[in-house]
Structure 1
Amino acid sequence: MLGVLSIILTLVCLMYFAYRGITVLILAPILAMLAALMSGEIPPLYALSNIFMPAATGYISSYYPVFLAGAIFGKLMDVTGAATSIAHFISAKFGKKHAIAAVIVATGLLTYGGVSLFVVVFAMYPIGAMLYKEADVPKRLLPAAIAGGAFTFTMTALPGSPQYLNTMPTVYFGTDIYAGPILGIIAAAIMFFGGVWWLNRRAAQANAAGEGYGDHENEGLHDFEGDLPNVGLSFAPIAMVFLLNYFFTKVYFTMPSVMAKYEAIGGSVNGTWPVVLGLSISVVFILIAMRKYLVNTNKVMFDGAVGALLPIFNTGSEVGYGGVIKSLAAFTTVKGMIVAMSIPSIFKVAISTTLLAGIVGSSSGGTAIALEVLSDEFLSMGINPQALHRIMLLASGGLDSLPHCGAVITLLSVCKLTHKESYGDIAVLTMVLPLISVVVTSLVYLTTGLV
Structure 2
Amino acid sequence: MGLLGILIGLALLVLFAFRGWSVLLLAPFAALVAALFGGEPLLAHLTQVFMASAAGFLAQFFPIFLLGAVFGKLMDDSGAVRSAAGFMAQRLGERRVVLAVVLAGALVTYGGVSLFVAFFVIVPMAQSLFREAGIPRRLIPAAIVLGTSTFTMSALPGTPSIQNAIPMPFFGTTPFAAPGLGIIASFIMLGVGLWWLRRAETAARRAGENYGDETHGAAERAADDELVRERATTAREFDPAEIRHGRRSEAPAPVANAILPLAVVVIVNLVMSLLVLPRLDVSYLAEQRFGGTSLAAVAGVWSVAVALAAAIVATIVLNWTRLASLRQTMDAGANASVLPAFSVASLVGFGAVIAALPAFSTVRDWVLSIEGGPLVSLAVATNILAALTGSASGGLTIALDALGQTYVDIASRTGIELALMHRVAVIGSGTLDILPHNGAVVSLLSICGLTHRESYFDIVMVGIVTSLLALVAVIALGSVLGSF
User: Does residue 285 of structure 2 align to residue 285 of structure 1?
Assistant: no
Higher alpha-carbon deviation: 283-292 or 394-403: 394-403
Shift of 1:216: 1.8
| Kept after mapping to 2: 8 A contact 1:311/1:410 | no
Larger mean Cα displacement after TM superposition, 84-93 or 134-143: 134-143
Which position in structure 2 is the counterpart of 1:242?
Answer: 266
The 1:260/1:42 distance shift into structure 2, 3 A limit, reads closer
Query: Which residue pairs with 2:51 in the alignment?
Result: 53
> Residues 143 and 69 of structure 1: is their aligned pair in 2 closer, same or farther, counting only changes over 3 Å?
farther
Aligned to 2:279: 255
1:317 aligns with 2:341: no
**Which residue matches 1:72?**
70
Query: CA 1:430/1:316 → structure 2, altered by over 3 Å: closer, same or farther?
Result: farther
Aligned to 2:15: 16
- Are 1:229 and 2:253 matched, yes or no? yes
**Deviation larger for 271-280 or 356-365:** 356-365
Q: Determine the C-alpha separation between the residues in 2 that align with 1:417 and 1:42.
A: 44
Question: Structure 1 residues 22 and 76, CA, compared in 2 at 3 Å: closer, same or farther?
Answer: same
Cα pair distance change 1:301/1:198, threshold 3 Å: same
Q: 1:345 to 1:238 in 2, by over 3 A?
A: closer
How many equivalent residue pairs?
Answer: 434
Q: Secondary structure at the match of 1:210?
A: coil
Query: Which shows bigger deviation, 6-15 or 212-221?
Result: 212-221
Match of 1:3? 2
- Mapped to 2, the partners of 1:223 and 1:94 lie a distance apart of 30
One-letter amino acid of the structure 2 residue matched with residue 244 of structure 1:
V
Q: Which moved more, 1:412-421 or 1:222-231?
A: 412-421
User: Partner letter of residue 126 of structure 2?
Assistant: Y
Q: Which has the larger displacement, 363-372 or 202-211?
A: 202-211
Other-structure match for 2:332? 303
Secondary structure of the 1:8 match is helix
Q: Residue type matched to 1:88 in 2?
A: G
- Report the residue type matching 1:291 in the other structure: W
Whole-angstrom CA distance in 2 between matches of 1:376 and 1:261:
26
**Taking structure 1 as reference, are residues 435 and 42 closer, same or farther at Cα in structure 2, changes over 3 Å only?**
farther
Percentage identity across paired residues of the two chains: 32
Tell me the TM-score normalized by structure 1. Answer: 0.75
Q: Is the 8 A contact 1:136 1:212 kept in 2?
A: no
Tell me which amino acid in the other structure corresponds to 2:277: F
Q: Which residue of 2 aligns with 1:372?
A: 405
Give the secondary-structure state (helix, strand or coil) at the position aligned to 2:252: coil
Shift of 1:377: 6.4
Whether the 8 Å contact between 2:265 and 2:308 is mirrored in structure 1 is yes
Supply the distance in 1 between the matched residues of 2:284 and 2:22 (Cα, whole angstroms). Answer: 43
Shift of 1:93: 1.4
Residue 209 (structure 2) pairs with residue 210 (structure 1): no
Contact 1:36 1:47 in 2 (8 A): yes
Query: Residue 193 of structure 1 aligns with which residue?
Result: 191
SS at match of 1:272: helix
Shift of 1:130: 4.8
In 2, are the aligned partners of 1:156 and 1:394 still within 8 Å (CA)?
yes
Question: How far apart are 1:145 and its partner, in Å?
Answer: 5.5
Unaligned runs of 5+ in 1: none
- Residue 239 of structure 2: aligned partner: none
Using the TM superposition, name which of 218-227 and 317-326 deviates more: 218-227
Give the direction of change, closer, same or farther, for the CA distance of 1:20–1:95 in structure 2 (3 Å limit).
farther
Q: In structure 1, how many angstroms separate the alpha carbons of the residues matched to 2:404 and 2:60?
A: 22
Q: Which structure 2 residue ranges, 5 or more long, are not aligned?
A: 224-242
Matched, 1:331 2:376: no
- Following TM superposition, by how much is the alpha carbon of 1:333 offset from its aligned partner in structure 2, in angstroms? 0.8
More off after superposition, 336-345 vs 48-57: 336-345
Contact conserved, 2:264 with 2:307, CA < 8 A, in 1? yes
- 1:332 shift after superposition: 0.9
Q: Which moved more, 1:424-433 or 1:322-331?
A: 424-433
* Cα offsets for 1:65-121 (capped at 9, x unmatched): 2111111111111111112222221221123565554454455567778x5xxx643
Moved more, 133-142 or 314-323: 133-142
Q: Output one character per residue of 1:356-390: Cα deviation in whole Å (capped at 9) or x when no partner.
A: 66567523543565553356668988999998886
For the residue of structure 2 that corresponds to 1:18, the secondary structure is helix
Q: Separation in 1 of the partners of 2:66 and 2:398?
A: 23
Counterpart amino acid of 1:73? F
Query: In structure 2, how many angstroms separate the alpha carbons of the residues matched to 1:275 and 1:444?
Result: 27
Cα shift readout 1:152-204 (whole Å, capped 9, x = no counterpart)? 445655678794467689779xxx9438x5x7666444322333455667789
Which residue of the partner structure matches residue 41 of structure 1? 40
- Of 71-80 and 289-298, deviating more is 289-298
Conservation of the 8 A alpha-carbon contact between 1:191 and 1:437: yes
Matched ranges for 1:374-389 at <5 A: none
Give the counterpart letter for 1:232 in structure 2.
Answer: A
Q: Partners in 2 of 1:437 and 1:11 — Cα distance?
A: 28
Q: Distance in 2 between matches of 1:169 and 1:55?
A: 14
What is residue 229 of structure 2 aligned with on the other side?
none
Distance, in Å, in 2 between the alignment partners of 1:122 and 1:193 is 24
Does the C-alpha gap of structure 1 residues 64 and 369 become closer, same or farther in structure 2, counting only changes over 3 Å?
closer
Q: Does 1:433 align with 2:480?
A: no
Letter in 2 for 1:91: A
Distance in 1, Cα, partners of 2:51 & 2:198 = 42
Amino acid corresponding to residue 188 of structure 2 in structure 1: I
Conserved? CA contact 2:109–2:115, under 8 Å? no
Shift in alpha-carbon separation, 1:234–1:149, aligned structure 2, 3 A: same
Mapped partners of 1:160, 1:15: distance in 2: 32
Structure 2 equivalent of residue 92 of structure 1: 90
Letter in 2 for 1:178: A
Deviations 1:395-429 (A, max 9, x none): 4544455678xxx5478679986998698766555
Distance (whole Å) between structure 1 residues aligned to residue 417 and residue 251 of structure 2: 57
CA contact (8 A) 1:82 1:235 kept: yes
Give the structure-2-normalised TM-score.
0.70
Q: CA RMSD in A?
A: 4.6
Indicate the SS of the match to 1:317: helix
